[in-house]
Chain A
Amino acid sequence: MLHVKNLSCTRGERLLFSDITIALGAGDCLHVRGINGSGKTSLLRTLVGLSPVETGEIRWRDVNIADSAMNSELIYLGHDAAVNGDLTALENLQFAGAQFGLSLSQPILHDALQRMGLKGRENLPVRALSAGQKRRVLLSRLLTQPANLWVLDEAFNALDIAAGELLTQLIKDHLARGGIALLTSHLPLKMVDILVLDL
């Protein structure tokens, strides 16, 4: 479904990566590895269409991503927690759904936050939560928004062991449903049959 051909990227005057070719189909998971500054985040940002493609081509369902409807099938979770400190966990999750075009009901929201281990903290302003808990609010989107393509940048950062395992399980379920996942992580993933790209 996702085809990348001869993709290159420069930052300033430095070549980050060149001639990357990827083909991912239903149920595939790609682990992008590399040292700090090797261009993992740049690669993911280019793949989702935030950064412009310099050379090469990215296609989603055989359509160039600029013209494709990829956004309606995509969850991209970046470095930043993308949650507002003045809003509660519940409001943040609700807004995330709304900007995706979903109006989520209270039970769905509560259920998702509960599964992410945030029960009892739904109505606290997010600024009062720890870094790991903020990440959990962000990750709750994986439960509330249906999407075929998950692009997770350093998703395991700041998560404790239990949350890390939960996320691994979520990704496995996603792949079993025929979804695609692209992720970066410094830790080895506890999953079998995944593709690896070293930058």
Chain B
Amino acid sequence: MSLPQSSLMLVVSVTTKRDLLLAIRRKSDVLVSLFFFIIVVSLFPLGIGPEPLLLKKIAPGVLMVAALLSTLLGLPRMFAADYADGTLEQLALSPLPFGLLVSGKILAHWLVCGLPLVVLAPVLGLQFGLDGETLMMLMLALLIATPLLSLIGSIGAALTLGVRSGGALLALLILPLYVPTLIFASGAVEVQMVGMNANGYLSLLAAMLALAVFFAPWATSVALKIALE
């Protein structure tokens, strides 16, 4: 089915709107992953010690790893409820393209679990003594990295649907795939910190995002159909 651009977004918005509405109804779910992010980041200075130079050095990595774990925390929710109550079945039988409906759900996951991290990260970055330009870079890197995390994660969420010990398995499947995102996103911030140009890292992240936008929803919808068989 070929669709004009406007209706393509319209299809995506069907599931996005619904999932956002659900997120508003169940605020606690969203807040839990946000506080998880804050707590994990705050644990590092407590574990390592308050030495400013050391903290500044580890800040990009710590913030990225925490963002990655906090995204992971929200992933099982992406499809689990819809799988359990039969809504996913209905989506798979919809005359609208399934891949786009799935994209809508991924978009909603990013808006709920990813975007708040982008906004929150600079505040936590201040705790680690990062300067203004580095904080800007941190936000920019997270802005490209977090949708990538949602996209890659959706594949794992679909594969582990209804599977024994799905949550732990999801982490095992997805975390290795998160490595390039982690390296390039924290690399961009580190390079900025020493005053070098981080454009290369950002371009690589953006290229990966472009790749994932096309392929991840497709892989996820195939995995979902397998789970529904």
Seen from chain A, the residues whose Cβ lies within 8 Å of a Cβ on chain B are 48-52, 69, 71-72, 74, 76, 78-87, 91, 95-96, 98-101, 125
The residue of chain A having its C-beta at the shortest distance from the C-beta of B14 within the complex is: A98
Question: When A50-B228, A79-B86 are in contact, do A84 and B94 touch as well, CB less than 8 Å?
Answer: no
CB of B81 closer than 8 Å to a CB of A: yes
Chain B residues within 8 Å of chain A by Cβ, number: 25
**List of A residues within 8 angstroms of B228 by Cβ:** 50
- CB pair A99–B94 under 8 Å, yes or no, is yes
The residue of chain B having its C-beta at the shortest distance from the C-beta of A86 within the complex is: B25
A95 to B82, CA, bound (A): 13
A125 to B24, CA, bound (A): 13
- CB pair A82–B14 under 8 Å, yes or no, is no
A43 to chain B minimum Cβ distance, whole angstroms, is 14
Can you list 15 pairs linking A and B with CB atoms under 8 Å apart? A76-B89, A76-B93, A80-B84, A82-B86, A82-B90, A84-B22, A84-B82, A84-B87, A86-B26, A91-B18, A91-B21, A96-B90, A98-B17, A100-B96, A101-B94
- CB pair A82–B89 under 8 Å, yes or no, is yes
Seen from chain B, the residues whose Cβ lies within 8 Å of a Cβ on chain A are 14-15, 17-18, 21-22, 25-26, 81-82, 84-87, 89-96, 101, 228-229
A67 to B95, CA, bound (A): 12
- CB pair B85–A99 under 8 Å, yes or no, is no
- CB pair B94–A71 under 8 Å, yes or no, is yes
The residue of chain A having its C-beta at the shortest distance from the C-beta of B96 within the complex is: A101
- CB pair A51–B229 under 8 Å, yes or no, is yes
A59 to B199, CA, bound (A): 54
Task: Say which residue of A49, A69, A99 sits within 8 Å of B91 (CB atoms).
Answer: A99
A95 to B84, CA, bound (A): 17
**List of A residues within 8 angstroms of B18 by Cβ:** 87, 91, 95, 98
A85 to B22, CA, bound (A): 10
Most buried by A among B14, B87, B90, B91: B90
The residue of chain B having its C-beta at the shortest distance from the C-beta of A73 within the complex is: B95
A162 to B93, CA, bound (A): 29
A170 to chain B minimum Cβ distance, whole angstroms, is 19
**List of A residues within 8 angstroms of B229 by Cβ:** 50-52
Apart from the given pairs A71-B95, A82-B85, A95-B14, 19 other A-B contacts in the complex at a CB distance below 8 Å? A49-B93, A50-B89, A74-B93, A76-B89, A76-B90, A78-B86, A78-B89, A80-B85, A80-B89, A81-B86, A83-B85, A85-B85, A86-B26, A87-B25, A98-B18, A99-B91, A99-B94, A99-B96, A100-B95
A84 to B26, CA, bound (A): 12
Question: When A86-B22, A86-B26, A91-B21 are in contact, do A99 and B90 touch as well, CB less than 8 Å?
Answer: yes
**List of A residues within 8 angstroms of B17 by Cβ:** 98
Question: When A86-B26, A87-B22, A98-B14 are in contact, do A69 and B95 touch as well, CB less than 8 Å?
Answer: yes
- CB pair B95–A80 under 8 Å, yes or no, is no
A80 to B89, CA, bound (A): 10
A141 to chain B minimum Cβ distance, whole angstroms, is 9
A51 to B26, CA, bound (A): 33
A53 to chain B minimum Cβ distance, whole angstroms, is 11
**List of A residues within 8 angstroms of B82 by Cβ:** 84
The residue of chain A having its C-beta at the shortest distance from the C-beta of B15 within the complex is: A99
**List of A residues within 8 angstroms of B25 by Cβ:** 86-87, 125
- CB pair A99–B101 under 8 Å, yes or no, is yes
